[in-house]
A = this chain, B = another copy of it.
Amino acid sequence: MPQYTPPVRDTRFVLDHVVKLNNYTNLPSFAAATPDTVDAVLEEGGRFVAEVLFPLNQSGDQEGCTRHPDGTVTTPKGFKDAYAKFVESGWGTLSAPEAFGGQDMPHVVATAFQEFMVSSNMAFAMYPGLAHGAISALRVKGSPEQQQTYLPKLVSGEWLGTMNLTEPQCGTDLGLIKTKAEPQADGSYSITGTKIFISAGEHDLTENIIHLVLAKTPGAPDSSKGISLFVVPKILINADGSLGERNAVSCGSIEHKMGIHGNATCVMNYDGAKGWLVGEEMKGLAAMFIMMNAARLGVGLQGLAVGETAYQNAVQYAGDRRQGRALTGPAEPAEKADVLFVHPDVRRMLMHAKAWTEGLRALCLWGGLQVDLEDHAETEEERQAASDLIGLLTPVIKGVGTDKGYEIATNAQQVYGGHGYIQEWGMEQYVRDARIAMIYEGTNGVQAMDLVGRKLAMNGGRAVQAFFAMVAGECAAAKGDAATADFAGRLEKALGEMQAATMWFMGNIANPNNIGAGAVPYMHLTGLVAVGLMWLRMAKAAAELKAAGEGDAAFLDAKLVTARFFAERMLPEAGSLRRQIEGGADAVMALPPEMFRAA
């Protein structure tokens, strides 16, 4: 039986010593995030998801969703009930504004809870997760009337929401959208078209579903510049706020997928559905990016979160399963065999998982803080700095977080040997679930192009220069301290590789394919440095606490050992990545397409 324990201690450590929550008590929201409140969120919220959502994770995968002939969709057994409890508990409203019924906590605290929720049940967590995107877009771009109509019930969870971008002929390239929006005399639009891969497009969890839909108005340019955003409720809302008629939007079918079976992935048919413009006409892409950037951070977190659960189970199995003997001689001679923990290669996989999940947790929470600071820091300079950093690192958190999540899940499955391949043990589900996160909200290749094609050069490279300065400064400072000097030296070397790769891009941009061919290696190089910085901060904090005789010594020692593992085992890849980038586009692009064919 798979198991899951929310990593409260590690999250607390990151919030205290990497994010340093108590440095921000001057800011709105943060004042309410007292240590006691945060503890309650982590402890109680963690308990809720582990007790209510995790038990439905494997059964939800096995049962999946069902579409009925009338177009209704039922979620797996237990989901509806669990969702009602989730709404009642209020855990979904942590960071929403009080004006719309939220608890107005910092985004970073909600991020911590979100990890636990996804770890418990990724397919379930996607239902409220998609609504968060809709909330973000309406908060920023919705009219006051739209906000009043939709936000309170979306925030409370009484309604859920979706993002409708993809169509059969277009995913990444939204300029190809065909869905049409015809203006009506009453100021609404008539929406017609087919959207595919719509997560949570139809289900039985809520009475209403608020769809945010990209479509083109008559005469709009045939490119991404012609896209507008519309809000299209499943059930129309009467003037008094009560539910009215069924709108002309329906679920045509649900997809049979590799994983996340508990979440309904729908083909949505819009047949003259009534919708309302959100924001300005033909500015839909910008509005969508508001949802998208939040969603990308959330997807990066999914990688870590699924990896964490897979890792925890591998740890459990490594302690239970006896097979073979330690290379150094029997560890438990009285037993017929030693536990898997004695085998260095099993340890290597577990340490890899530990180093990446803890490092990515720190990066995701640090990223959550930047989202808060971007909105709420006291000075424009601080807000700008946070905005630059999170803009730069959003594609890295998404791309590296999900690539590593899949790798961790695959390794965790490997620890189980043959049992990992059998559904009953639950490990193969984590691999199947983790896989989608590398694809949706922009494939990881698209993330890498966002990083090198857009973010690097923005404002004359201001963001990446600030990132370099931050890492270099912390390395320089840490090199003076014996406890962190070795780590800082190795991180500085990896930073040097990243800087060299950046320079190489600048010198070779005449052929833009050089940028494209190096994009994914560069994203991973940036991920190594960014997660490396988080490990430097964790190692520094651990060393300082230890020196001060504070904290749990075993926990702090583990942090220092894991930082060392990251330095010795992960950072060396930086040099290889740089050399791959410097290979450039020639060999990548040289072959005519027919030379890829077998015959």
CB under 8 Å from chain B, chain A span 562-599: 562, 564-565, 568-569, 572-573, 575-576, 579-580, 583-599
A315 lies within 8 A of B414 (CB): no
A417 and B572 in contact, given A257-B423, A258-B432 (Cβ under 8 angstroms): no
Measured in the bound complex, the distance between the Cα atoms of B438 and A431 in whole Å is 14
Q: Looking at the complex, which of A275-283, A319-327, A457-465 is the stretch in contact with chain B?
A: A319-327
Q: Looking at the complex, which of A87-95, A129-137, A150-158, A444-452 is the stretch in contact with chain B?
A: A444-452
B residues in contact with A382, CB < 8 Å: none
**Interface residue A336 (Cβ < 8 Å from any Cβ of B):** yes
A598 lies within 8 A of B5 (CB): yes
Measured in the bound complex, the distance between the Cα atoms of B7 and A434 in whole Å is 32
Measured in the bound complex, the distance between the Cα atoms of B341 and A431 in whole Å is 28
Q: How large is the interface on A (under 10, 10 to 19, 20 to 34, 35 or more residues)?
A: 35 or more
B residues in contact with A421, CB < 8 Å: 257-259, 435-436, 439
Q: Looking at the complex, which of A212-220, A468-476, A507-515 is the stretch in contact with chain B?
A: A507-515
A558 lies within 8 A of B597 (CB): no
B residues in contact with A346, CB < 8 Å: 445
- Residue picked from A9, A337, A344, A557, most chain B C-beta under 10 Å: A344
Number of chain copies forming the complex:
2
B residues in contact with A418, CB < 8 Å: 166, 171, 196-197, 439-440
CB under 8 Å from chain B, chain A span 146-168: 166
Please classify the interface of chain A as helix (H, G, I), strand (E, B), loop, or mixed, using the class held by over half of its residues: helix
A598 and B9 in contact, given A439-B417, A517-B344 (Cβ under 8 angstroms): yes
A561 and B591 in contact, given A421-B436, A568-B580 (Cβ under 8 angstroms): yes
A558 lies within 8 A of B591 (CB): yes
A423 lies within 8 A of B256 (CB): yes
**Interface residue A182 (Cβ < 8 Å from any Cβ of B):** no
Q: Which of B172, B257, B512, B587 contacts A568 (CB 8 A)?
A: B587
Q: Looking at the complex, which of A233-241, A347-355, A388-396 is the stretch in contact with chain B?
A: A347-355
**Interface residue A547 (Cβ < 8 Å from any Cβ of B):** no
B residues in contact with A599, CB < 8 Å: 5, 7-9
Could you tell me the distance in whole angstroms from the C-beta of A596 to the nearest C-beta in chain B?
4
A576 lies within 8 A of B568 (CB): no
**Interface residue A176 (Cβ < 8 Å from any Cβ of B):** yes
A344 lies within 8 A of B583 (CB): no
**Interface residue A420 (Cβ < 8 Å from any Cβ of B):** yes
Measured in the bound complex, the distance between the Cα atoms of B520 and A576 in whole Å is 17
B residues in contact with A569, CB < 8 Å: 580, 583, 587-588
A selection of 16 A-B contacts at a CB cut-off of 8 Å is: A171-B417, A173-B337, A176-B337, A255-B422, A258-B423, A339-B593, A344-B513, A345-B449, A346-B445, A417-B443, A421-B436, A428-B435, A432-B432, A565-B583, A568-B583, A568-B584
What 3 A-B pairs have minimum CB-CB distances, sorted nearest first? A344-B516, A568-B583, A572-B579
